Amino acid sequence: MTTTTSRQAHASDGGRKAGGSKRGLRPANPRSALNPRYLPYGLLLPAMIVIGGLLLYPLVQMIQMSFQKVGLREIRGYPAESVGVGNYQKIVESDLFWAALRNTVIFALIAVTLTLVIGTLVGLLLNKLGKKMSTLVVIGSMLAWATPAISSAIIFRWLFDDRNGVANWVLNLLPDFLSQALFGRSDWSGFVWFLEPAPLYTVLILCVVWQSFPFIAVSVLAGLKSISSALYEAARVDGATAWRIFWKITFPLLRPVFSVLLVLSIIWDFKVFTQLHTLAGGVATRDAFNLSLYSYAEAFSAPPKMGIGSAIAVVLTLILLAVTFVYVRQMVRQEELR
Amino acid sequence: MNPALRARLGRVGLNAAGIVVFLAAIFPVFWMVSTSFKSEADISSLELRPLPTEPTLEHFAGIFTEGVAGHSIWLYLGNSLIVALSTVVVGAVLALLASVAVARFKFRFRATFLVLLLIVQMVPAEALGISLFLMAKRAGLYNEILGLVVINVGLTLPFAIWMLRNFVAAVPRELEEAAAIDGATRFRTFWQVLFPLVAPGLVATSIFSFIAAWNEFFFALVLMQDDTKYTMPIALRYFFGRNTTDWGSIMAASTVMTIPVVIFFLLVQRRMVSGLVAGAVKG
């Protein structure tokens, strides 16, 4: 890291000289945007305008609106009135908010755990497989990863269809006593998965885990390739078990990879919208809301309550930024920003 | 058990596990494609038929002629293509300029900008939906494809810069210094030395942005009112909402939407991983 930094410093000195005198004929105008002192700002300006206008300003506006009443009148352009913390008070008093928060957190906990465990196992497997076999598994996983969220949600609606879905058909094959013991029912013909939150979220978890384990697997594999095989040989000579090798060598060495993957997974799973909106069939099943669907339902169903929707979005954003803080600190600590 | 037999059994076990993972991963996609070629009799049959017994193209014919959300699927593929390509072109220029600034210059606020980039990537786009909806409405971009393009550029830019700066940083500075010593202007150095070397990275980044814009669901749902302006995801969602039992056609439409993404994806997946976990793996 230190070598890169000094090389950069040296090179930008060189660049400054080249910009000042090498061009010879036309001395650089000190105020020109091409002056190396201002050039980086000039290059950044368009991106900053886009990021500022489309991400930062809306963020500020969202916070502002969460303290205002924003209904149909205000959407048409009338100035919005402040309601203080009224919106927050309303959502905290609503059962729907607590149900949505609970759904969001429980779903994220289960989906993130499953994704990380399955993804890591597949990553470890890929590392052990021969070249042909591992290419096959990687390509298969890529298919799952590449499928658009909307397509995957619709496919899972079809797989779990009450009449002709594969899932009910397979579940019917289970011996009755086993099915009864595991799920409390033996006849799955015509079972509807998308009316109650529990079965709905079961399908959602399967759908999301199916799509997100490949990223974890491929990332873990990339990490594993960077670990020297001498370490493993030494451990094996000492008679260590696979379980012990994982926790004593692999995990500590890949800790940075795992923490980034954990944070990214939490971020993705906390705000899952497309799949839930599709599986739940819009905003009709209110007790299956998570925070993003709840915010959307308040803001975009008639009558629109955008102030309340913003307050919910602020809560979601705060939770995510708290998690992000860990990620940013991790990146900064690794001097990735140099 | 002797060690050789044990090793062989271990290998068989690993390969079996590999096949199980492969099958589980491809099954939903396989089922989508298979269903799209099945006749109604196969789809509603009580026994399980993994493959179509009498393959048919009627569902594909239907979505191209009768259409999905009131119009042929061509219209929606076209809308999505316009949105995704415009996003890519605008985004690539902005990301290239910004990533050169970040990877090639030292200036005040550089670290601040990078931290900002990281943080804005984490803000859920759905949370910004309400503000962006109102902004689009006031700017006259509600129900306009242009509005969707603008928003998609904003959503994809932070990650594009984050990814592209690694490619710019990987080009040895000495090449540019040599060009400068030979008297090339800054612009020429950029265009003839740096740009060709960064081009593969730019392609990878662009494909990533393309996929993101092609799949974007939330803003298209919130902003697009006319069924002539739907993008593919919204048309598919609408189609599915209206014809919940016509699974053959729904799966055919879904297949048509998925294939371009899968092809692009296979081209860039390696780079996407390195972009997302950059630093963490390098340690």
Is A137 part of a structural domain of the chain?
yes
Q: Do B236 and A150 touch (CB under 8 A)?
A: yes
> How far is residue B95's CA from residue B202's CA, in Å, rounded to a whole number?
9
Is A221 part of a structural domain of the chain?
yes
3-state SS, chain B, equals CCHHHHHHHHHHHHHHHHHHHHHHHHHHHHHHHHHHCCCHHHHCCCCCCCCCCCCCCHHHHHHHHCCCCCCCHHHHHHHHHHHHHHHHHHHHHHHHHHHHHHHHCCCCCHHHHHHHHHHHHHCCHHHHHHHHHHHHHHCCCCCCHHHHHHHHHHHHHHHHHHHHHHHHHHCCHHHHHHHHHCCCCHHHHHHHHHHHHHHHHHHHHHHHHHHHHHHCCHHHHHHCCCCCCCCHHHHHHHHHHHCCCCHHHHHHHHHHHHHHHHHHHHHHHHHHHHHHCCCCCCC
Q: Is B52 found in the same domain as B173?
A: no
> How far is residue A140's CA from residue A214's CA, in Å, rounded to a whole number?
9
Nearest to A271 by CA among B122, B156, B157: B122
Overall number of domains in chain A: 1
Is A39 part of a structural domain of the chain?
no
Q: Report chain B residues whose CB lies below 8 A from the CB of A43.
A: 97-98, 100-101, 105
Q: Do B280 and A299 touch (CB under 8 A)?
A: no
pLDDT of residue B16: 93
A12 pLDDT more than 50: no
Is B40 part of a structural domain of the chain?
yes
Overall number of domains in chain B: 2
Q: Report chain B residues whose CB lies below 8 A from the CB of A136.
A: 18, 22
Q: Is B79 found in the same domain as B49?
A: no
> How far is residue B22's CA from residue A45's CA, in Å, rounded to a whole number?
46
Measured between CA atoms, how close is B21 to chain A, in angstroms? Answer: 7
Pairs of residues, one from chain A and one from chain B, whose beta carbons lie less than 8 Å apart: 324
Q: Is B78 found in the same domain as B22?
A: no
Nearest to B243 by CA among B70, B118, B93: B70
> Hey, of A17, A26, A44, A331, which one would you mutate to test binding to chain B, going by the most B CBs within 10 A of its CB?
A44
Q: What is the mean pLDDT of residues A200-214?
A: 95
Q: Report chain B residues whose CB lies below 8 A from the CB of A316.
A: 124, 126-127
Measured between CA atoms, how close is B187 to chain A, in angstroms? Answer: 9
pLDDT of residue B197: 87
Q: Report chain A residues whose CB lies below 8 A from the CB of B105.
A: 12, 15, 36, 39-40, 43
> How far is residue A161's CA from residue B244's CA, in Å, rounded to a whole number?
10
Q: Is B134 found in the same domain as B107?
A: yes
A338 pLDDT more than 70: no
Query: Which residue range is the domain that position B233 belongs to?
Result: 69-276
pLDDT of residue A35: 60
Is B64 part of a structural domain of the chain?
no
Q: Do B115 and A155 touch (CB under 8 A)?
A: no
Q: Where residue A228 falls among pLDDT bands split at 50, 70, 90?
A: confident
pLDDT of residue A1: 34
Containing A253, the helix (H) or strand (E) segment is helix A251-253
Q: Is B181 found in the same domain as B241?
A: yes
pLDDT of residue A17: 38
Chain B, 125-164: which have a CB under 8 Å from a chain A CB?
126-135, 137-138, 150-151, 153-155, 157-158, 161
* C-alpha distances in Å from residue A49, one per residue of A12, A44, B89, B122, B126: 26, 9, 17, 19, 21
* C-alpha distances in Å from residue A153, one per residue of A267, B141, B269: 19, 29, 22
List the single residue in A47, A56, A152 with the smallest CB-CB distance to B157. A47
What number is the ipTM of this complex? 0.87
Nearest to B100 by CA among A160, A263, A46, A1: A46
Q: CA end-to-end span of chain A, whole Å? A: 8
Chain B, 99-118: which have a CB under 8 Å from a chain A CB?
100-102, 104-107, 110-111, 113-118
pLDDT tens digit sequence for B78-104:
999 999 999 999 999 999 999 999 988
Q: Do B120 and A51 touch (CB under 8 A)?
A: yes
A127 pLDDT more than 50: yes
DSSP A80: P
pLDDT of residue A294: 95
Per the document, the length of chain A is 338
Q: What is the mean pLDDT of residues B66-83?
A: 88
Query: Which residue range is the domain that position A256 belongs to?
Result: 86-333
Q: Would you tell me the crossing angle of helices B247-276 and B73-104 to the nearest 10 degrees? A: 0
B19 pLDDT more than 50: yes
pLDDT of residue B207: 85
List the single residue in A59, A155, A219 with the smallest CB-CB distance to B128. A59
Residue B107: Cβ-neighbour burial (10 angstroms; 0-12, 13-18, 19+): middle
> How far is residue A259's CA from residue A8's CA, in Å, rounded to a whole number?
29
Measured between CA atoms, how close is A181 to chain B, in angstroms? Answer: 25
Q: Is B236 found in the same domain as B101?
A: yes
Q: Is B242 found in the same domain as B162?
A: yes
Name the residue type at position B161: I
A105 pLDDT more than 90: yes
Write the CB contacts of B39 (distance below 8 Å, at least 6 apart in sequence). B52, B53, B54, B56, B58, B248
Chain B's closest residue to A14, CA to CA, is B177
Q: Where residue A295 falls among pLDDT bands split at 50, 70, 90?
A: very high
List the single residue in B95, B138, B186 with the smallest CB-CB distance to A34. B186
Q: Is B75 found in the same domain as B42?
A: no
pLDDT of residue B274: 56
Containing A81, the helix (H) or strand (E) segment is strand A81-82
Q: Report chain A residues whose CB lies below 8 A from the CB of B236.
A: 150-151, 154
Q: Is B242 found in the same domain as B173?
A: yes
B202 pLDDT more than 60: yes
Q: Where residue A308 falls among pLDDT bands split at 50, 70, 90?
A: very high
> How far is residue B80's CA from residue B78's CA, in Å, rounded to a whole number?
5
Q: What is the mean pLDDT of residues A255-271?
A: 87
Measured between CA atoms, how close is B205 to chain A, in angstroms? Answer: 15
Is A124 part of a structural domain of the chain?
yes
Q: Do A222 and B281 touch (CB under 8 A)?
A: yes
A18 pLDDT more than 70: no
Q: Do B273 and A11 touch (CB under 8 A)?
A: no
Chain-centroid distance of CA B185 in Å reads 36
Q: Is B249 found in the same domain as B113?
A: yes
pLDDT of residue B107: 86
Between A232-241, A311-320, B71-80, the lowest mean confidence (pLDDT) is in A232-241
Specify which of A2-11, A184-193, A301-310, B188-197 reaches the highest per-range mean pLDDT.
A301-310
Q: Is B220 found in the same domain as B165?
A: yes
A14 pLDDT more than 70: no
Q: What is the mean pLDDT of residues A142-159?
A: 92
> How far is residue B100's CA from residue B91's CA, in Å, rounded to a whole number?
14
CATH of the domain at A270: 1.10.3720.10
Specify which of A169-178, A241-250, B82-91, B238-247 reaches the highest per-range mean pLDDT.
B82-91
B124 pLDDT more than 60: yes
Q: Report chain B residues whose CB lies below 8 A from the CB of A39.
A: 101, 105, 186
Measured between CA atoms, how close is B192 to chain A, in angstroms? Answer: 17
Is A184 part of a structural domain of the chain?
yes
pLDDT tens digit sequence for B256-272:
999 888 888 777 766 65
Q: Where residue B11 falls among pLDDT bands split at 50, 70, 90?
A: confident
Q: Is B177 found in the same domain as B243?
A: yes
pLDDT of residue B67: 78
CATH of the domain at B204: 1.10.3720.10
Q: Report chain A residues whose CB lies below 8 A from the CB of B266.
A: 139, 142, 146
Q: Count CB neighbours of B138 within 10 A.
A: 11
Q: What is the mean pLDDT of residues A188-212?
A: 93
pLDDT > 70 fraction of chain A, expressed in percent and rounded: 88
Measured between CA atoms, how close is A177 to chain B, in angstroms? Answer: 22
B213 lies within 8 A of chain A by CB: no
Is B225 part of a structural domain of the chain?
yes
**Cis preceding linkage at A79, omega within 30:** no
Is A42 part of a structural domain of the chain?
no
